[in-house]
Every structure is written in structure tokens, then in C-alpha cells.
Amino acid sequence: MTEDHSLRRDTAVPAIDLEDAIDSGDLESVRAWFAAQNTVTISEELGRLDHGERAVAFRLLEKDRALAVFEYMDISHQRELLEALRSDRASELLRGLQDDDRARLIGEAPATVASKILADLPADKREATSRLLGYPPESAGRLMTPAQAVLDPDMTREDALDKLRGRRLRNRDIAVLAVTDETRRLLGVVNLSDLVTAADGARVGDLMSKETHSVRATADQEVAARLVQEADLLALPVVDEESRIVGMITVDDAMEALEIEVTEDAYRGGGSEPLGEPYLSATVFTLARKRGVWLVVLILAAVLTINVMSTFEGTLNKIVVLATFVPMIIGTGGNAGSQAASSVVRALAVDEVRPRDLVRVVWREVRVGLMLGAFLAVLTFPFIAVIYEPRIAATISLTIVGICAWACIVGGVLPLVAKKIGVDPAVFSTPVVSTLVDATGLIIYFTIAQVILAPQLAAAG
């Protein structure tokens, strides 16, 4: 993306409501507001408009400013703008994008639209974009910026800087430079700051870092982005199967990929499919469709709870007071399981645990569950014993201990199993765990009740 260091706002220009200004035809106020704002702010505010108003406002931007704003916009908004603008204006915007940003936009577009966009590009840009699109979706190859400049280890500092001069390179694309042999095999990396500050005549090979992180172009982009974050890298080299440099994943692209992954996990953790577009841009039908699929699944899973209640209907009829505590029992189990699932899903995301740690996770979670259950049982027993009777209190307390232990095991195991079979662990988070624990928790509850309250059940006939 084009760097924009203008973060000041001109306080002399009053804040305006873009939507009202556009609807009223006060376009001069819109232009004045644009002139006083930085590109990030403009991009964010345009994202809040509907697609028609957004197109009108975008046309008011100066040509150079428009490209910078366009680069910061969400991909779904970029697609809508391209459809609303004249073909020559849309082509101009696409040509101005960097190869990685252009590939990301085309990769999200329908096949027919993507083909038309590619056909309108100059040959060199079409080839570079097609090369990136040749990598699997959500791979490091799709996320990277193609290697713009590589250095030879025998180059001097002056030779290296001369090679960079005169090229249209973004600052972030040359902050870290790959050092390769004559076949482009990666040998190491050198920071631009080290080149600039090195003594005259210094060799690139002496300045480069030989302990270099890298990923294959086919690696998962989340794995690559996590590596950038955890190793505090400005850029991560991407290599092919023969360790030849093909591109770099810059820190800003890595953070964007992580934001997407966190957003997807947040949606699935709440029992919904990711929207894939900003909330205000999604139609009501899209919102309902994304949530409805999960609600159907959860309703079907809830049938298990109904069947369990039906199975133990006789027990409930004899000791009606047991029904009073059903919401508390299943609520406690669901909450404990959700806590465990959230912890393990997060640990998986940052590679703190792996599927092979299953036994360790189970051992930890069962102890946590027993500890939590014992704590809650000690709190609830006196109150229930006073209000009802000690046997009822004992039943509830023991059930809480058992269901907390079981819920923590389920919440800890399901994400690991999901990861092992190649499913997003977030799928098995709060909603699924809660629903499963509800049904199995009732089995624990009524089984304990039948044992402790056996004399009362027998007396009730």
C-alpha cells in the first residue's frame, strides 16, 4: 500500500456527516473534508456509506489520493467501486495496485469478473498477478509480495544501494532484502538500515543475517503470519521447493492476515459463519444465512437434551424438585466447557499446544474441572441443604463436581481433535461444546440422583 504519513486533521474544517452531505448535494463540503483528512480516515468513513454514496464520494478524490484510499479499503468495497466506476477508471486503479494487493482482490472476485480484470491488465502486470494466483488460496504465496530486488553476498554496500536506486519500490518492500546465490537460493537477509549505516566498501555477505526464517510458498498463511509476529520480523522470505526466493511477506500483510483469522475465530466461536465483508455492507439475508446454518445444527444437537429428559422423566415425576436445578446444572457445565474450549482454541492458534499434547491437555483440564467443581460445590451445598435437604444438596454438589470435570475435558479435547482432522478448532468452541455438555451433563445429574436418592425414589413407587 502507498504510505501515508499525514495523520493530522485540520480542526478548521468542521466535522460533517458524509451521508447527509452527499444526499443534499453539498459536494464542496465533502471535497473540503477529504482535503483535511488522512487516507486511513477517509477509507474508514467511505466504508460506512452504502455502495452508491461511496461511488459518488470516491469520484471526488484527486487521482493520486484516490489510489491511496482505494488500497486501504476492504476488498468487498473495492469490488463494488470497480463495478460502479467507468471501465477506464477501474483499469487505472487496478494497474496502480501492487501485485500482491491486486492478486488478493482478483482472488476474491467471481471467476468471470477475475478473467475480465486480468485481460485488461498490461502483460507484465497480468503475468505477475497470475503467478501469485497460481498458489493455493490462503497460502503464503498468495500473501507475499514478489521479490523486487535480491542482493549478491559479494556486492559492496555501494553496489547494493545503487541497485535499489531508480526503482519504484515501497519502503516496506525493501526494509529487508534477500541475499541469494546465482541460482536465487536464499542465503540470508540484510536490513536496509544496516546497508545505509555500514562503512564504505562493506560486503553484503558480512552484513547479512545467516540465521534466517523462511517459509515455503505453499505453507498456510496463518502459520507464516504467526512467525512474523512471534519472531518480531519486518519481513519473512518466501521460497519455493528448491529454496529459491520468490517473495517476501511484510509485517503489515502478516498483521492483516492475522486479523482475518481472529475475525473468523470470533464468528465461529459465537456460533456463526464469518461474513467475509464488513457488517454494514452485508445484507440482512446474508446475516441470517450465516447464522441460520449454525442454529439448525445446534437445534439438532439440542434434541439430545430433550431425549435425555424424556429418558429420566420417571425420576423427575417422583422427585419434582430435581427439575428446579436443571438450568443451573446445564448452565454450569456449558460455561465450564466453553472456558476450556476458548483456552485451548487460543493456545492452538498461537501454537502453544498441538494435537499430540492431547493427554497433557486432558490431564490438566480434568484437574481444573475438579478444582472448579469442588469450589462451586462447597459454595452451593449449605444453601441447598437449608432450603431443601442434605440429600438434594449432596446430589447437586456432586453433580457440579462431575459435570465441571467432564465439561473441561470435552472443551479441551474437541478443538484438538478438530485440528487433527483438519477442521477449524473454533468450530468446536462455545456453542457446540455447550450443547454437547448440556445433554451429557443431564445424564451425569440423573445418574447421581438415582444413586443418592434411591430410598426416596423407592418410596415414591
Pairing mode, strands 235-239 and 215-216? parallel
Q: What is the pTM of this model?
A: 0.69
* Residue (of 26, 253, 229, 284) closest to 141 by Cα position: 253
DSSP state of 342: H
Cα gap 126→132, rounded to integer Å: 10
* Residue (of 146, 154, 217, 161) closest to 181 by Cα position: 154
CA 265 remoteness from chain centre: 6
292 Cβ partners below 8 Å, 6+ apart? none
The pLDDT profile of the chain, 461 residues, written as one tens digit per residue, is 444 444 444 444 456 778 888 888 888 888 888 888 888 888 888 888 888 888 888 888 888 888 888 888 888 888 888 888 887 787 788 888 888 888 888 887 777 777 777 777 788 888 888 888 888 888 998 888 887 788 899 999 998 888 888 666 666 667 888 899 889 999 989 988 888 898 988 998 899 887 788 999 999 888 899 899 888 888 899 999 988 999 899 888 898 888 888 887 777 777 777 777 777 777 788 888 887 877 777 777 677 777 777 777 777 776 788 888 888 988 898 889 888 988 888 888 777 888 899 999 999 999 999 999 999 999 999 999 998 889 999 999 999 999 999 999 999 998 898 888 887 787 766 677 877 888 888 889 888 988 888 877 777 65
* Residue (of 351, 69, 53, 324) closest to 222 by Cα position: 351
Distances (CA, A) of 379 to 285, 372, 396: 46, 11, 11
420 Cβ partners below 8 Å, 6+ apart? 355
Burial letters 179-218, b for 16+ CB under 10 A, else e: bbeeebebbbbbbbebbeebeeebbbbebbeeebebbbbe
DSSP state of 150: E
Distances (CA, A) of 135 to 37, 132, 212, 217, 410: 37, 6, 23, 7, 37
**Domains by residue range for the chain, with CATH:** 18-134 (1.25.60.10), 146-270 (3.10.580.10), 284-460 (1.10.357.20)
Main-chain dihedrals φ then ψ at residue 203, nearest 5 degrees: -85, 140
